[in-house]
Chains A and B, each alone.
Chain A
Amino acid sequence: MKNAPFLRSYTLFYLLFLYGPILLLPIFAFNDSRVVAFPLQGFTTQWFAEMAADQNLRNAAKNSLIIALSVASISTILGIFAARASVRYRFPGKGPILGMVMLPLVLPEMIVAMALLVVLLSIGIPLSLFTVILGQVLICTPFAVAILTSAFQSLDRSLEEAALDLGETPLSTFRLIVLPLVMPGIMASFLICFTISFDEFIIANFLGSGQPILSVYIFGQFRFPAKVPSMLALGTVLVLFSIILLGFAEYMRRRGIAKAGGKDSGGFL
């Protein structure tokens, strides 16, 4: 490894650029001024108190939690079906079906949201948290499929055959061998989908019919300068929350690879 001082300092500078806004979050979340600008005015926790007291915010958080938990569960289950079928079987139409499943990765989210919205409005399905879940599952499933595909791929096919050979049925083989070995992948998929859904705005906004959902609520609040500091407090909490979730997801993913006896080959994406 050569030292490359220029590249190293450039990379550190780049990281500063990436983290800049996030580093400002806690600074202004604890800054004792309603105006978010320098110079700083002193330390306060009043924005956190304001945030905690906000009933609408609590409602929005509760709804977001319901949505994110549902989306993460459904996407992961759909992801298990698709990833397992894609790794294990050859069948006609495999390419087009998987292409369709992965399509939302390369389609502007607005298009997905609008297409779904047009159909929902045309057939008269009222917008609700449920329709948000329907839409977000489309966005999250490709991520679930990607993570789970690599989990299923690192599973040696002969392990399943060995279990069958030793007298287990296909179903009990799945339960005793496949599931335990891909469980870390399933957990990682669940956590990633949860995080994406929790943060997702476009579908929540357009398919949610004005229901309080956290991302939509935050978007709205930023239009009122007086509300910004408590939003920054909320942001600080969310960032911490995300980092913990992601750290956990990465840990699970690596444990899965180690368990299946494979080698680590990169991150989530």
Chain B
Amino acid sequence: MAQIPSAEARAGLKLISPTAIYVILLLAVPLATVLIYSVLTGSRGSVLLPITGENYAELWSRPVYGYIMLKSLLVALTVTFITVMLAYPVAYFVSFHVKPERKSLWLFLITIPFWTSYIIRVSLWFVILGYDGVVDSTLMSLGFMDTQLNIASYSILSIIIVLAHAYAPFAVLPIFVSLEKVDRSLLEAGQDLGESRWSTFLRVTLPLSMPGVIAAALIVFIPTVGDYVTPELVGDGKEPMIANLIETQLLKLANFAQGSAFAVASMLMVGIVSVVFVLLNRRFIGGQK
């Protein structure tokens, strides 16, 4: 019975085929191509046949590449950590202290900034952090200091601040969703059994919301590690991250093979970190049983 595709299976496949064909042609095939190119020999603007591991060897042997990848990873992890830590209390507040009918409004307020031009948002941070910016002029006029801090000139710091701001709503939503799922009677049970509010939070609420925290971390980590605009705009591209490196190899040097190897390596990195996050999540879900 199971071998013959049923009428339902045929109808479903037929219906999804336009979308499926689109993503296969324009996503699966290109990703496969990148994978294949990454083990071919690069030549300016094209690739040649002998299969080689040289592109990956190059990745290992030149410390600058490793440095950039490690830097991207650390920046993204820092941003993820900060974003999730800042977002948790907000999600907690909206879930536990806002009337049910007002919750959507709060979430809407939190998500609006995300939907406004990313580039303009990033650029505006110059106005805040830069020379004569909001931070400096405020602090100076209040007499805290007499020289400009000009935080914008510290590239990595400003990259972290800007990214943490850009992806903040991404972190609030999944945490909020997992907090909403926490059975309120469990909390009452916890307090009924003599736990203080703080220890109820630590022993009941926090573990139950961990899947949301992990999801939030994943959702923030992936786009930040591959961000292109912020390193390019903030600090005039002096602190490139992976995306900028891929661009340099692929476009500026037209080395498809080497660029592909970078792309694959960074996908691999993102993949490994994601799997670690997901495994952590499993552990938490498993621990609840």
Contact = CB atoms under 8 A, between A and B. Distances in A.
**In-complex A–B contact (CB below 8 Å):** yes
Interface of A: 1-4, 7-8, 10-11, 14-15, 17-22, 24-25, 28, 35-39, 77-79, 81-82, 84-86, 88-94, 97, 100-101, 103-104, 106-112, 114-119, 121-122, 134-135, 137-138, 141, 145, 195, 199, 201-202, 206, 215, 218-219, 222, 228, 231-232, 234-235, 238-239, 242-243, 246, 250, 254, 264, 266-269
Interface in B224-259: 225-229, 233, 242-243, 246-247, 250-251, 256, 259
Majority secondary structure, A binding face:
helix
Contacts of A218: 117, 119-120
Contacts of B17: 81
A3 B237 CA distance: 46
A100 B119 contact: no
A116 B116 CA distance: 26
A201 B229 contact: yes
22 contacts: A7-B92, A8-B93, A19-B113, A24-B124, A25-B124, A92-B9, A100-B23, A103-B27, A106-B274, A110-B246, A111-B31, A114-B34, A114-B247, A118-B30, A118-B259, A138-B27, A195-B115, A199-B117, A201-B118, A202-B243, A228-B123, A246-B115
Nearest to B103: A266
Interface of B: 5, 8-13, 15-20, 22-24, 26-31, 33-34, 37, 45-46, 86-87, 89-90, 92-94, 96-99, 104, 107-113, 115-121, 123-128, 130-134, 137-138, 165, 168-170, 173, 177, 180, 218, 222-223, 225-229, 233, 242-243, 246-247, 250-251, 256, 259-260, 263, 266-267, 270, 274
Contact of A38 (B5, B108, B134): B134
B8 A89 contact: yes
Nearest to A192: B115
Given A79-B19, A121-B45, A202-B243, 12 more contacts: A7-B92, A21-B121, A36-B127, A89-B11, A106-B222, A107-B270, A108-B242, A114-B247, A114-B250, A119-B33, A235-B120, A243-B116
Contact of A222 (B233, B242, B256): B233
B33 A118 contact: yes
B133 A7 contact: no
Contacts of B130: 37
B229 A239 contact: no
A109 B127 contact: no
B90 to A, nearest CB: 5
B117 A122 contact: no
| Residue with the greatest number of chain A CB neighbours at <10 A, chosen from B10, B93, B98, B130 | B93
A122 B130 CA distance: 42
B12 A91 contact: yes
A238 B116 contact: yes
B263 A115 contact: yes
A84 B11 CA distance: 11
A263 B164 CA distance: 33
Given A118-B250, A118-B260, A100 B27 contact: yes
Contacts of A112: 27, 30
B104 A14 contact: no
A38 B30 CA distance: 48
Nearest to B111: A267
A79 B23 CA distance: 12
B225 A108 contact: yes
A90 B125 contact: no
Contacts of B12: 85, 88-91, 94
A223 B58 CA distance: 34
Nearest to B161: A17
Contact of B226 (A110, A118, A135, A267): A110
Contact of B27 (A4, A104, A232): A104
Nearest to B86: A14
A148 to B, nearest CB: 11
